[in-house]
Structures are given as structure tokens and as C-alpha cells.
Amino acid sequence: MNTRSTFSASLERDRFDRFAALLARQLDGDLLLSAEGYPSLTESLVGVHPIAELIISATTTPAQIKDFCFNTPDPALGYISYTYGMLLRGVASDKATDFPLGHLKKYAAIAEYADGQATITASDTDLLNRMTALLTGPLDHAAPGPVTGLPDTPPRLSLDQAGYEAGVRETLERILSGHTYQLNLSTRFSWHCPDLDPLALFLALRHDHPAPFYAWLTSGPLRVLSTSPERFLRVEDGHVLSQPIKGTLAFADYSPELNAHLTKSHKESAELSMIVDLIRNDISANCTYDSVRVEHHKSIFQVDNLLQMYADVHGELREDRDCLDLLFDAFPGGSVTGCPKQSSMRIIEELEPHDRGVYCGSIVVIRDTRNMDSSIAIRTATHDTETHTLNVYAGSGIVVDSKPASEYQETLAKADKFLGLGEQ
Amino acid sequence: MDVLIIDNNDSFTRNLEHLLVAAIDGATVAIAPYAALPDVDLTTPDLIVISPGPGEPAEYPGYERVFSAGKPVLGICLGMQIINEHAGGTTGRLTGCVHGKTDTIRLNGIERVVARYHSLRVQTVGSGLTVLAENRDSIPMCLGNRDDRILGYQFHPESFLTPYGGWFIEYALDFLSLS
């Protein structure tokens, strides 16, 4: 019998963030931290002391993942990589990957934050008391501090400007031949930084650049630093919501006219519309007839000095399907593959010299068969604490109207919060 | 009505399935991947739908058995181009290819907004096929043969950008003598 004790308290979000930082620093906690004011706000969650782990490999089946997630009522937190999605979609790759294809954990204690309320649930009274003491004690010292060990040299790029622009030109040729309608092309920025404190980096980013799907995950010597603004799929008592983002406008000084500039762009609108039709398709496999609908098409929010366009795509999960049927049939998200998905993924595999790994996969919280939330793992970095390699990835959606130089600049804009680190 | 969609590895096939179920009373829709085309049972469906998909008709051999099955056939996008090439027509690159954008066409005397996703176009029309709608740039948007019970749409009635997708399915059923 898995008996659990709980503690609840009203709390400011900033105080919960500091508490979460302590749990990560002192108890190796894994973090999913949301932020207010975004259309894809989600519940923040911290997992402490794993009691069960599933490291996903090429031989791990979706049925095994379901068994891990659903065999106890505890929530599972972790990531599923884009590389695992390639296997699901039948896209072969012989590139080396330095991360497991996924890593999910269940925990002895969970701390959650939603609607101004923090709740700690633990199977161990001592652990509950220790976490409660941290939460109710002084937290000033847990504020984000200076980040040590930041790289002060330029990154190595898997696709430098010339390589990226050549990739865009090749993509345009594939579009003209009909093999893809839109394709997301990415590049990887790598640094060797032996003295980097990656958790301090994550917390500083979180403080300075809030977004709804921040995640700090440990996987052996590896660390995931995800700062994503994008929801992939949420299932809430069977109600499905996807919020694909496409259409980006970088700005230095915001003015309301910029919104109309973005929504009136035929190119940016087409990018979003294509991915909306794609996610409609991908959820329809597991949703009831007549339930799939689009709302708030071409809505806009701001994140990281970028305007981003998105839509809400709704559906109702079929009674005979669970949230992981939905996730795996739709995975990886269309906004990071392009359309049609399988053909675009094959071209991506051809044009990108790097393995995407966690990047463009998903950070997931799976609660039960009809409740989960997940991000698209964009604006995401990884750090290897043994090789001291920091990898940052960024990409851009290529459509027929794309200009190679502009698309490269868009990748830089998306990576800017990481790229500017050495200048701080 | 039993409907079979042959799926050319497309990412809009399920949208098509949901549209067909919504537009046809009592329809049951089955989906067969293109790879199963040589073996799929074509005797039971009342309507065979050829889906959109990446690439050009030449990359999808084997559709002869669909056209010789004696069933009404509806082709969408690539599916229309496959119908056209089966009739001896040709496919070429579309100048100013268009994806995820809307256009206006007139079909059966009614003007409708439709969603377009295509890099290629019907270049020359196959024998026996009549162009039933085209856009203002004279790109064929619908073609068919009522006697042979074949119809193709170059645009995407299943897109959320096509406001009256069900109307196009009703037109197809009428054209194919299924209503």
C-alpha cells in the first residue's frame, strides 16, 4: 500500500521557484516550472528521490512506457527524445546520440504549485518533514545568483551560417518538388565549459527569461535545460489541447503594431496554418469524430523578445484510448518536423549533421491514462557533466517564401538567451 | 456507406477521415497505407479515396487496380494528380507553389474558399477528364468524369481553412452517383 502524506501552503510563485532551486541543489530534484501570463501555463512540479526509473532505448516499446507510467498512481516526469520519435515514425538514423532516448521517473516526493498553492506529497514522513522545513524556512539564499563557468569563446556550430543557408536552399528545392510543404531546420551550438554550473545557468535563465515550460532534468551525468514556451499536448480528464507555435517576429522594443505585422504576414500565417492542420490530423487518430476544432487561430504572445503566433487545437480523447496512445501517434510535434511529417523528418535527417536527441522531443508529466501535459522541447540545451559539453539548439520553419539569411537570423534570435551568456 | 482511404504517407489523412464521417450519414471509414495497396480488398468499399501526399504520381505506382475495381474514386491533391496521370495527363511544377493558403474557386455555380497545399499541378489534362473548376490563374482545381465515376480535388476540403469542406464531399457524392 502506497500511503502518502501531504503538506499545503499558500505561496508566491517566486518563493516556490526558490524552494524548487533548493530541491534541485540539495536533493537532486527534477523540475518543471511554469510561469504566469502565458496561454500554456501549466502546473509546476518537482520530483525528489526517484523510486522508479525507465531509461528508454531503441528497444523500449510504447507498451513498456505505458506500463511504467500507469502501473502506479504516481505521476511520471521526464523527457522523450526526438530520436525516439524517429523510431516511432520509421525514420532511420545512424547518427550517434549522447543521451538516452528518454528517461522517466517516479518519485518518493512531489512538490507541486498551481493557483498560488504549493503542495508537497511524500511517501516518507522524514522526507516530507525535510521538504516542509525547506519550504517554510528562509529562502532568500536560494535566489538565482551569478552563473559561474560560462563559456567566453564562440560556439562551434553543426551548421554554420553558410551551411545553414545551404540547407535552407536545399529545403526550398525539396518544397518545389513536393516532398515537403514546410520543414524545420535546426543547428547546434556547442561549447566546452569545464567550470560551468548548469543549474545556476538554468535558474538564471528562468529568472530573466520566464516561459511556461522550464524543465531541469538529470539523467546520470547528463542535464537537460529546457526553456520552452510551447505546449505539445495536454490531456485533462480526456479533453485534449495542443497549442502549436509558428510565426516568429523578433523585436527590440515592443509596440502593438508589431502584432498586426505578424498576423498579416502571409508567410508566417501559412507556417502556422500548416502545422494546425497537421496537429488536427495527429490528434484525430485518437479523438472522437466531430470533436476536433481550432480556436484562437493566429493569437500572439511575447516571450524572450519574440512575438510568437499560436492556435488552440481541441479534441476529446476516445474512451478506448489513453493519453500515451495520443502522444505516441502524434510524436514528435509537427511544429518541429514540418509537413508531411514522415517525409519532412527524412529530409531533416539528411540535412542536419547533428542528432537532435532531447531537443525537439518532449518534456512530459503523465499522471494517469487521461491526464498529462507535455512541451515541445525547443529553446533547449543539454549539458554533459563528464565531457563538460554544453549544447544549445535552435531552428526555424522553412516554407516556400523563406529567405536563407532571414531564417538563419531567426535561429540566432531563438538561441539568443543562451548565446549571449558569455557577454554577461 | 463503406469508404476506403488509400493513405499516401500523408499528414492530413485523419482530417479527411473525420470530414468524410461528418459529411456522410452512417459512413464507416477505413484507412489502408499505400504500402498495402497491392493486397487491400477493393471489393467491399462503396467509395475509394486516394489521399494527398508528398511527391509526384510517378512515385506511387500500382493504382491501376483501384481504377479497374469498378468503384467510384475521389482523389485529393496528389490523388487528383494520380487520377489525371492514369488518364494520360501530365504533372508539372506549379509556378509560385502554395501551401497553407486559401484561394477562391467556383464549382457547380457556387464560389467557395478552399485551402491549397501543392507544389505540383495538373499540366495537361488526361483523356476523358473535364476540368470542373480552376482558379483565376487557370490552375485546374477540380476535374472528373461523371460516367467513369472519378473526381479529383486539387485543394484540401479537409483543411480547417476550407470553411465548407462538407459541401465538397456532398458534391462528390452527387457527381459519383452515390447520393
CATH code of A330's domain? 3.60.120.10
CB < 8 Å to A290, chain B = 18, 21-22
Contact B99 A274 (CB under 8 A): yes
With an 8 Å Cβ cutoff, is A242 touching chain B?
Answer: no
Q: Is B158 a catalytic residue?
A: yes
Angle between helix B13-23 and helix B165-175 axes, rounded to 10 deg: 70
pLDDT band per the 50, 70, 90 thresholds, residue A128 = very high
On whether residue A78 sits in a domain, the answer given is no
Query: Does B140 score more than 70 pLDDT?
Result: yes
pLDDT band per the 50, 70, 90 thresholds, residue A424 = very low
On whether residue A49 sits in a domain, the answer given is no
Select from A171, A182, A267, A274 the residue whose CB has the most chain B CBs within 10 Å, as the one to mutate to test that interface: A274
Contact A341 B11 (CB under 8 A): yes
Q: What is the largest CA-CA distance in chain B?
A: 41
- Under 8 Å CB-to-CB from A162, ≥6 apart: which residues? none
Contact B14 A284 (CB under 8 A): yes
With an 8 Å Cβ cutoff, is B119 touching chain A?
Answer: yes
On whether residue A151 sits in a domain, the answer given is no
Q: Is B18 a catalytic residue?
A: no
Chain A residue with minimum CA distance to B56? A178
On whether residue A205 sits in a domain, the answer given is no
Select from A281, A309, A316, A331 the residue whose CB has the most chain B CBs within 10 Å, as the one to mutate to test that interface: A281
Q: What pTM, to 2 d.p., does this model score?
A: 0.96
* ipTM at complex level: 0.97
CA distance A280 to chain B (A): 7
Specify the pairing of strand B130-134 against strand B140-145: antiparallel
Q: What is the pLDDT of residue A423?
A: 55
Contact B100 A273 (CB under 8 A): yes
Secondary structure of residue A386 in the 3-state scheme: coil
CA distance B93 to chain A (A): 7
Contact B15 A271 (CB under 8 A): no
pLDDT band per the 50, 70, 90 thresholds, residue A3 = confident
CB < 8 Å to B78, chain A = 178
Select from B18, B93, B121, B162 the residue whose CB has the most chain A CBs within 10 Å, as the one to mutate to test that interface: B18
CA dihedral angle for residue A305, residue A311, residue A317, residue A321, rounded to 10 degrees = -60
Assess contact for A155 and A419: CB atoms under 8 A.
Answer: yes
Query: Does A1 score more than 60 pLDDT?
Result: no
Q: What mean pLDDT is predicted for residues B69-74?
A: 98
Q: Is A230 a catalytic residue?
A: yes
**Distance between CA B114 and CA B164 in Å, rounded?**
8
pLDDT band per the 50, 70, 90 thresholds, residue A422 = low
Range of the domain at A307: 158-188+237-356+381-423
Contact B12 A281 (CB under 8 A): yes
On whether residue A179 sits in a domain, the answer given is yes
Per-residue pLDDT tens digits for A41-64: 999 999 999 999 999 999 999 999
Query: Does A327 score more than 90 pLDDT?
Result: yes
Q: What is the pLDDT of residue A414?
A: 85
On whether residue A209 sits in a domain, the answer given is no
Assess contact for A100 and A221: CB atoms under 8 A.
Answer: no
With an 8 Å Cβ cutoff, is A318 touching chain B?
Answer: no
Choose, from B17, B85, B86, B158, the residue flagged as catalytic: B158
**Distance between CA A331 and CA A258 in Å, rounded?**
32
State the total domains in chain A: 1
* Sequential DSSP letters for B103-160: EEEEETTEEEEEEEEEEEEEEEPPTT-EEEEE-TT--EEEEEETTTTEEEESSBTTST
With an 8 Å Cβ cutoff, is A246 touching chain B?
Answer: no
Q: What is the pLDDT of residue A304?
A: 84
On whether residue A143 sits in a domain, the answer given is no
CA distance A283 to chain B (A): 9
pLDDT band per the 50, 70, 90 thresholds, residue A120 = very high
How many CA atoms are closer than 13 Å to the CA of A302, on its beta-carbon side?
11
